């Protein structure tokens, strides 16, 4: 039983509240640790440490900031095997996924922004005819808040922290209380990399207590949040009167549209991945699958056959394809959506049941589930399920499927499978989403903007977009004539 602590000013502290939360292992349903439920006093202490560190860190040379961030990246890579096991145990995801995707990507985040900050240039404008020059001075904001979700714990935690630090800010960060362990381990790595005390502070706890204290703090000047749309709306409402900068990466109900002229074999293999990777607990998973009518029956048979071969098992087993869902309450939520789909005349083609894994019967396991639905307006096609559940239905024309793709409140990502280049470009312009993949899925270039439209969020992460978010632009005009 491990009891973790808050990381403030380069040291570890028990919560001032003396309140603790149980941490469950999704694979077996057992409590294996406790985490702080930090109070406003804990958040205030983290803020004071960050504010004290800011004058020095913000004036640290770009080269020195870059060196430290890249050192953190190297240490993450050096500890990959240990961190992957910690992530798998804490989250329920297969170990091979944590080893090949999550921890390497966390290291890449620090390396990318460590390098990017040295190339982040300001604009200048020579005012011809006025003997004046204007330039844009981009300065760090100060102390910022970063709040990350449970589905990709270290991956998304570092996706926020790395650019905030690179830009010269100091951070008060809160990982998900459901998956806190790799964020906790990051403290030691930052100390080993000689990140100055107070530059990064990590406080643990519930969103309703610790998270609320961060977003309400009058002197934390910006909030970067990834999580549910309902929580994002609450943050927007709370922070609006405080005039904080806000970046919200929220939910998705992403369409995966398949035309008859696609590369069928590649499409089928990738569609299984885009449906069920990380137990479907990725905001970018293609949970609504639309298939052109002429190949619909063939696709339905082939897809279900492949899905049935996916093995549900303990996350640490090498042959596990589908690990455990993150919590008992989340498993119940996903099961409720399956039940609603049945009530609305959805046909379960495979899956739909919880699974008892031998030796780990109390774990939170669910079969990968494919549901044939009659309309795009059914509940399961309109609301984010965030589990190993996808729906399929046919379409007859490009206009028909475009209407269905956009007929949700979300607009995060979309995938289109076609070998018609004109159609691909034409549809990309009309799809209401922040990310459109053509003939691929989850192919990310960290230089590109990441985020969604509508209820999927506000602002963009990634590349220079996020460095712009974590800096304040100031126009300086000099008349020299």
Per-residue model confidence as pLDDT tens digits over 84-116: 999 999 999 999 999 999 999 999 999 999 999
Q: What's phi and psi for 103, nearest 5 deg?
A: -70, -45
| Residue 244 domain flag | yes
Residue 1: partners with Cβ closer than 8 Å, 6 or more residues away: 31, 32, 33, 34
Yes or no: say if 431 and 414 are a contact pair by the CB < 8 Å rule: yes
Mean pLDDT score, 459-476 = 97
Mean pLDDT score, 284-308 = 98
Q: What does the pLDDT read at residue 122?
A: 84
Q: Are residues 22 and 167 in the same domain?
A: yes
**Residue 224 CB: number of other CB atoms within 10 A?**
26
102 burial (CB, 10 Å; 0-12 / 13-18 / 19+) is buried
Q: What does the pLDDT read at residue 481?
A: 78
* CB half-sphere exposure, 402, CA atoms < 13 A: 12
| Residue 188 domain flag | yes
What would the pLDDT profile of 18-34 be if each residue is shown by its tens digit? Answer: 999 999 999 999 999 99
Going by the DSSP 8-state scheme, the letter that residue 219 receives in this structure is T
Which strand (E) or helix (H) includes residue 453?
strand 453-454
| pLDDT confidence band for 301 (50 / 70 / 90) | very high
The domain total for the chain is: 2
Instruction: Dig out the tokens for 62 from the structure.
Output: 């770009």
The CATH number of residue 467's host domain is 3.40.605.10
Alpha carbons 10 and 7: distance in angstroms, whole number? 6
Q: Are residues 147 and 269 in the same domain?
A: no
| Residue 372 domain flag | yes
Q: Which of 177, 249, 384, 398 is catalytic?
A: 249
Q: Are residues 313 and 197 in the same domain?
A: no
CA distance to 179, 308, 367, per residue, from 325 (Å): 12, 18, 10
What would the pLDDT profile of 27-60 be if each residue is shown by its tens digit? Answer: 999 999 999 999 999 999 999 999 999 999 999 9
Chain centroid to CA 311: how far?
A: 25
Going by the DSSP 8-state scheme, the letter that residue 207 receives in this structure is I
The CATH number of residue 379's host domain is 3.40.309.10
| Residue 119 domain flag | yes
pTM of the model: 0.96
Alpha carbons 215 and 69: distance in angstroms, whole number? 26
Q: Are residues 383 and 239 in the same domain?
A: no
Alpha carbons 164 and 152: distance in angstroms, whole number? 19
Q: What does the pLDDT read at residue 1?
A: 82
Q: Are residues 306 and 333 in the same domain?
A: yes
Closest by alpha carbon to 464, among 455, 456, 473?
Answer: 473
Q: Is the model's pLDDT at 129 over the cut of 90? A: no
Residue with tokens 């070998």: 419
| Residue 451 domain flag | no
What would the pLDDT profile of 54-85 be if each residue is shown by its tens digit? Answer: 999 999 999 999 999 999 999 999 999 999 99
Looking at the chain, the whole-number percentage of residues with pLDDT higher than 70 is 100
Q: Are residues 97 and 182 in the same domain?
A: yes
- In the beta sheet, which residues pair with residue 22? 34
Yes or no: say if 142 and 169 are a contact pair by the CB < 8 Å rule: yes
Residue 237: partners with Cβ closer than 8 Å, 6 or more residues away: none
Q: Are residues 232 and 260 in the same domain?
A: no
249 annotated active-site: yes
What would the pLDDT profile of 138-169 be if each residue is shown by its tens digit? Answer: 999 999 999 999 999 999 999 999 999 999 99
Q: Are residues 197 and 267 in the same domain?
A: no
Instruction: Dig out the tokens for 15 from the structure.
Output: 């919560």
Alpha carbons 470 and 116: distance in angstroms, whole number? 13
Q: Are residues 424 and 464 in the same domain?
A: no
Instruction: Dig out the tokens for 448 from the structure.
Output: 């590109």
What would the pLDDT profile of 214-251 be if each residue is shown by its tens digit? Answer: 999 999 999 999 999 999 999 999 999 999 999 999 99
Q: What does the pLDDT read at residue 391?
A: 98
Please state, rounded to an integer, the average pLDDT across all residues of the chain: 97
| Residue 297 domain flag | yes
Q: Are residues 243 and 263 in the same domain?
A: no
**Residue 241 CB: number of other CB atoms within 10 A?**
7
Residue 26: give the domain boundaries: 2-250+456-479
Q: Are residues 222 and 86 in the same domain?
A: yes
Yes or no: say if 22 and 329 are a contact pair by the CB < 8 Å rule: no
Alpha carbons 162 and 446: distance in angstroms, whole number? 12
| Residue 461 domain flag | yes
Q: Is the model's pLDDT at 121 over the cut of 90? A: no
| Residue 216 domain flag | yes
Mean pLDDT score, 390-394 = 98
**3-class secondary structure, 333:** helix
Q: Which of 170, 262, 283, 378 is catalytic?
A: 283
Yes or no: say if 381 and 288 are a contact pair by the CB < 8 Å rule: yes
Yes or no: say if 467 and 167 are a contact pair by the CB < 8 Å rule: yes
Q: Are residues 266 and 403 in the same domain?
A: yes
Q: Is the model's pLDDT at 128 over the cut of 90? A: no
């Amino acid at each position: 039983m491990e009891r973790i602590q808050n990381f403030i000013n380069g040291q570890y502290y028990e919560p001032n509240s003396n309140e603790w939360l149980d941490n469950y292992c999704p694979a077996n349903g057992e409590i294996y640790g406790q985490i702080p439920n930090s109070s406003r006093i804990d958040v205030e202490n983290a803020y004071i440490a960050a504010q004290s560190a800011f004058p020095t860190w913000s004036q640290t040379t770009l080269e020195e900031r870059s060196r430290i961030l890249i050192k953190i990246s190297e240490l993450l890579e050096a500890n990959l095997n240990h961190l992957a096991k910690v992530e798998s145990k804490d989250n329920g995801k297969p170990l091979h996924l944590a080893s090949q995707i999550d921890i390497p990507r966390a290291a890449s985040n620090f390396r990318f922004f460590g390098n990017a900050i040295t190339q982040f240039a300001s604009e200048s404008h020579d005012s011809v005819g006025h003997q004046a020059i204007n330039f844009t001075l981009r300065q760090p904001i100060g102390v910022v808040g970063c709040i990350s979700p449970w589905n990709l714990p270290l991956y998304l935690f570092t996706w926020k922290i790395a650019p905030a630090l690179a830009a010269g800010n100091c951070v008060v960060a809160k990982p998900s209380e459901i998956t806190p362990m790799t964020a906790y381990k990051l403290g030691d790595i930052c100390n080993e990399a000689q990140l100055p005390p107070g530059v990064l502070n990590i406080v643990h706890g519930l969103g309703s207590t610790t998270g609320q204290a961060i977003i309400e703090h009058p002197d934390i000047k910006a909030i970067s949040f990834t999580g549910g749309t309902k929580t994002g709306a609450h943050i927007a409402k709370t922070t609006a009167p405080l005039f904080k900068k806000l970046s919200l990466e929220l939910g998705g109900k992403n369409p995966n549209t398949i035309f008859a002229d696609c590369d069928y074999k590649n499409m089928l293999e990738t569609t299984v991945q885009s449906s069920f990777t990380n137990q479907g607990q990725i905001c970018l998973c293609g949970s609504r699958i639309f298939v052109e009518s002429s190949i619909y029956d063939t696709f339905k048979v082939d897809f279900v056959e492949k899905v049935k071969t996916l093995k549900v098992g303990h996350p640490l087993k090498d042959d596990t394809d589908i690990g455990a869902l993150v919590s008992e309450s989340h498993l119940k939520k996903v099961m409720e959506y399956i039940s609603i789909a049945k009530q609305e005349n959805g046909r379960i083609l495979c899956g739909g049941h919880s699974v008892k894994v031998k030796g780990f019967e109390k774990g939170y396991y669910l079969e990968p589930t494919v549901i044939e639905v009659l309309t795009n307006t059914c509940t399961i096609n309109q609301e984010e399920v965030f589990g190993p559940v996808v729906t399929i239905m046919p379409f007859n024309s490009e206009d028909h499927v475009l209407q269905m793709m956009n007929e949700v409140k979300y607009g995060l990502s979309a995938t289109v499978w076609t070998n018609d280049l004109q159609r691909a470009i034409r549809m990309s312009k009309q799809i209401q989403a922040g990310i459109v993949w053509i003939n691929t899925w989850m192919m990310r270039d960290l230089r590109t903007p990441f985020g969604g439209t509508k209820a999927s969020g506000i602002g963009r992460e990634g590349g220079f977009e996020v460095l712009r978010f974590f800096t304040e632009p100031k126009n300086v005009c000099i008349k020299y004539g």
